[in-house]
Amino acid sequence: MKLYNSNLSPYATRVRMQLYMKGLKAEIVNVPQGGSHTAEYAKMNPMEKIPTLDDNGFYLPESSAIGEYIEDTHPTPSLRPADAKERAKMRVMFNIADQYILNALFELFDHINPAKRDAKVVDEQLTELRKGLAALEHYIVPGKYALGSQASLADCALVPDLFYVNAIGPAFGETNLMGPKVKAYWAAVQADPGVAKTVGEMATALAEYMKQNPA
Ligand SMILES: N[C@@H](CCC(=O)N[C@@H](CS)C(=O)NCC(=O)O)C(=O)O
């Protein structure tokens, strides 16, 4: 398996974290010369986004589809609970991470620099982010992982998001966005070696990006 990756991308990071947690070997590479908007890359991923999985010539875009595919093709250790209700809760938290929290973070990312900031957009997106985090607070189960004791795809989606909540929140004067259960989860989940590795990689990539694009 080959993963077209960027350590800065929360979507690609979901997949890397899944590979680490499952102990799977994969070739992790940057997108080819020229970036994701090339004819060569578009043949593998018509949305021209990162990540893309290449499983022996089977090209798969979209981190959520990649995550499910890896679970289907490499079922052990499983990052999907067997119980239908637990699995459904995992998918709800995955969607909260994917559609509510991360979309708001993406919008905010472009407004980190106060000189280039649109206060209305920031206000709207902070409201969306707070709503997403409040929804997560509702579902998250006390314990090491989002579902309590079992690691799941929900963690793969949440860890990159919460990393960015901590990393960019302070630029907007927001240092206390997480509710108590989410905060406790964020602290506890760091004990997983796959999480620690992923968070370290994201921190290095973000520091490098900030050096090149100072706010
Ligand atoms: N829904 C996609 C989103 C992927 C995505 O937006 N990736 C970003 C990197 S964080 C990207 O490739 N952006 C480049 C662009 O849009 O030009 C997924 O889950 O894989």
Same domain assignment for residues 45 and 90: no
Determine the structural domain holding residue 33 and report its residue range: 2-73
Buried b (16+ CB within 10 A) or exposed e, 129-144: beebbebbbebbbeeb
Same domain assignment for residues 147 and 180: yes
Same domain assignment for residues 106 and 41: no
Same domain assignment for residues 148 and 169: yes
Domain boundary among 23, 50, 73: 73
pLDDT tens digits for 27-43? 999 998 889 999 999 99
78 lies in a domain?
A: no
Contact 39, 54 (CB under 8 A): no
Closest CA to 28 of 49, 54, 10: 54
The stretch 18-29 carries a mean pLDDT of: 98
The stretch 86-111 carries a mean pLDDT of: 97
**Quick one: pLDDT at residue 109?**
95
| CATH code for the domain in which residue 134 is found | 1.20.1050.10
pLDDT confidence of 175, banded at 50, 70, 90?
very high
| CATH code for the domain in which residue 45 is found | 3.40.30.10
**Quick one: pLDDT at residue 215?**
75
CA atoms of 100 and 107, how far apart (whole Å): 11
Residues with CB under 6 A from ligand 1: 9, 11, 36, 49-51, 62-64
Please give the structure tokens belonging to residue 191. 């004990």
Residue 149 burial (CB < 10 Å; 0-12/13-18/19+)? exposed
Same domain assignment for residues 67 and 89: no
**Quick one: pLDDT at residue 84?**
98
Residue nearest to atom 5 of ligand 1 (CA): 49
Q: What angle do CA 155, 205, 176 make, to 5 degrees?
A: 55
Same domain assignment for residues 97 and 189: yes
What's the structural domain count of the chain? Answer: 2
Same domain assignment for residues 168 and 201: yes
Q: How many angstroms separate the Cα of 80 from the Cα of each of 10, 22, 64?
A: 20, 12, 13
Q: Which ligand 1 atom minimizes the distance to the CA of 106?
A: 10
pLDDT tens digits for 145-163? 999 999 999 999 999 999 9
pTM over 0.85? The answer is yes
pLDDT confidence of 7, banded at 50, 70, 90?
very high
